Amino acid sequence: MYTRRTPRSASGSGGLHRRTRIRAKTAAGLLATAALLVSACSSGSATTSAASAAAEAALVELPQATPAALTSYYGQKPAWRGCGVPGFECATLKAPLDYARPSSGDVRLALTRKKATGPGKRLGSLLVNPGGPGGSAIGYVQAYAGIGYPAEVRARYDMVAVDPRGVARSEPVKCLDGPDMDTYTQTDSTPDDGKETDGLVAAYRTFAEGCGADSPRLLRHVSTVEAARDMDIVRAVLGDEKLNYVGASYGTFLGATYAGLFPDRAGRLVLDGAMDPSLPARRLNLEQTAGFETAFRSFAKDCARQTDCPLGGKGTSLERVGENLKAFFAKLDRRPVPTGDADGRRLTESLATTGVIAAMYDEGSWEQLREALTSAMKENDGSGLLVLSDGYYERDADGAYSNLMFANAAVNCLDLPASFDTPDEVSRALPEFEKASPVFGKGLAWAALNCAYWPVQATGEPHRIEAKGAAPIVVVGTTRDPATPYRWAKALAGQLSSARLLTYEGDGHTAYGRGSSCIDRTINAYLLRGTPPTDGKRCS
């Protein structure tokens, strides 16, 4: 499942995403990160049954008193030090690896902050998380939020980030080296026969075995619930009575989980690009597939108005644009095109699909996508789509990958049981997924198989989050969001007892800092003055 959000560098034009900001997931990438975050169901009745069970289950609030076994963690004094980024300090904290057995060992959490600059009274710390799961919150706050959030917010809050356990600087999960990841991301993720299906399954197994070999203990303890409990330790160590927080994409699930566990400690929470925790995995994946189709249709409509659209001239129907893209993918499946890559990679169907899906995250990438498609389709040059794909996977010029995809799979596969258990189950579900998205449905369905081979069993289940007694929580939804469909924002707002739903009528993934003055003013008023919007407020 793709719910990540990538920050835009501070030097870019306004917004919270950088140009190749996208981290979605795609067919092969789907491979690594795919629709994970979800629960198993192999038939329609099973899906209905799981969803019904989730409607009855709710996240249980933890006792308000800190357990004696955790007091040493809550009483830590961070040793702040410079960390090579002007204006920022860094520190390391400890949290119990296993909250059920705090004496069994620790996990180290990396933390950074930039102190409030003033003027005005300091409001405490503002913890931010860009999503993923697997996105580095430290990288996000140092590259963008800590210097690119509205000046009035940075003036009043210490900007703070902690990389969740298993992510980036906080004991990162490791799975494959660069060359093996190159092989993995190029695996055919839309198998046409038994041999190709076996190849895809083998790739999933290799990925999972690599994670299990390199991070055996940690893999059992990277759940969202544990990461949310870690945030409460961070809150206490920072000296804040309540947690103030802005979470995007998957970060909304993390923030909502915190509110459900600690409603009395939830301060001003903004959940932007919201997820619905009550859905089982297959349902989440299916609805996200439909979300990418919605985003693609917006892109197709825009493309068909341009003189340089490689998928059809002016007046081309949306259906024809989609058919032309599918035909291009099919051509790549038969014969990948050159990219000029130093490591000899060619543009495969899987890498091209990743690049296209990546560009769906922000309409600001549509021009770049048109140019990349034109080069690949008309000039036999796949370098542009490879750049988009590499940006999604966080692959650098030296062929090294960040741990984003590793952590993404680790968290998702632990949070919910797998969408599918066998290739046969995927095959039976293909018509449903291809109906949801004629362009991406097949690849996204097969991507949802990866958790079936995970080395540890899921510990989570679908559930509602109510957070009864919490202060007002702002839930933000974008009407044509590809990765977190708008209906998820409405669903989460309907579960949280104190939610205020704020709607952005537009394209792209998440809304804060993307150019809507209405959205930004509304969220700033909430963060600075504690004034939540009227429930149901809409912006464009």
pLDDT tens digit sequence for 399-438: 999 999 999 999 999 999 999 999 999 999 999 999 999 9
Rounded CA-CA distance 403/195 in Å is 30
How far is Cα 410 from Cα 394, in angstroms, rounded to an integer?
A: 17
**Given a cut of 90, is residue 391 above it in pLDDT?**
yes
Sign of CA dihedral 459, 226, 99, 265: negative
Q: In sequence order, what are the residues at sequence separation of 6 or more whose Cβ sits closer than 8 angstroms to the Cβ of residue 160?
A: 111, 112, 113, 125, 126, 127, 128, 141, 234, 238
Question: What's the whole-number average pLDDT of the chain?
Answer: 90
pLDDT exceeds 50 at position 26? no
Tell me how far apart the alpha carbons of residues 513 and 2 are, in angstroms, rounded to a whole number. 20
Q: Out of 249, 278, 298, 437, pick the active-site residue.
A: 249
pLDDT for residue 42: 27
pLDDT in tens, 312-364: 988 899 999 999 999 999 999 999 999 999 999 999 999 999 999 999 999 99
- According to the model, what pLDDT value does residue 219 have? 96
Average pLDDT over residues 288-314: 95
The pLDDT, as a whole number, for residue 55 is 54
Residue-wise pLDDT for 458-514, tens only, equals: 999 999 999 999 999 999 999 999 999 999 999 999 999 999 999 999 999 999 999
Is the per-residue pLDDT at 34 higher than 80? no
Looking at the predicted structure, is the pLDDT value of residue 20 above 50?
A: no
pLDDT at 335: 97
pTM, two decimals, is 0.91
> In 3-state terms, what secondary structure has residue 491?
helix
pLDDT at 1 over 70: no
Q: How many helices (H) and strands (E) does the chain have?
A: 20, 10
pLDDT-based confidence at residue 277 (cuts at 50, 70, 90): very high
Catalytic residue check, 509: yes
- Residue 22's pLDDT band, with cuts at 50, 70 and 90, is very low
Catalytic residue flag (residue 481): yes
Q: Is the pLDDT of residue 18 over 50?
A: no
The secondary structure element, H or E, covering residue 125 is strand 124-129
Using the predicted structure, report yes or no on whether residue 24 has a pLDDT greater than 70: no
- The alpha helices in 338-422, defined as continuous H runs, are 349-359, 366-379, 383-393, 404-415
How many CB atoms sit inside 10 A of residue 338's CB? 15
Q: Is 249 a catalytic residue?
A: yes
- Gap between the Cα atoms of 289 and 440, Å rounded: 7
Does residue 311 register a pLDDT over 50?
yes
Alpha-carbon radius of gyration of the chain: 22
Burial status of residue 188 (CB atoms within 10 A of its CB: 0-12, 13-18, 19 or more): buried
Instruction: Answer whether 103's CB lies under 8 Å from 71's CB.
Output: no
- The one catalytic residue in 17, 221, 463, 509 is 509
Give pLDDT tens digits for 198-243: 999 999 999 999 999 977 899 999 999 999 999 999 999 999 999 9
Encode pLDDT of 137-188 as tens digits: 999 999 999 999 999 999 999 999 999 999 999 999 999 999 999 999 999 9
Q: How far is Cα of residue 532 from the mean position of the Cα atoms in its chain?
A: 25
* pLDDT for 37 beyond 60: no
Please say if the pLDDT value at position 28 is more than 60.
Answer: no
Catalytic residue among 481, 498, 516, 520: 481
Instruction: Give dist(CA 157, CA 169) in Å, integer.
Output: 23
* Angle at 277 (CA atoms; ends 134, 407), nearest 5 degrees: 15
DSSP 239-276: T-SSEEEEEETHHHHHHHHHHHH-GGGEEEEEEES---
Whole-number pLDDT of residue 215: 79
Q: Does residue 27 register a pLDDT over 90?
A: no
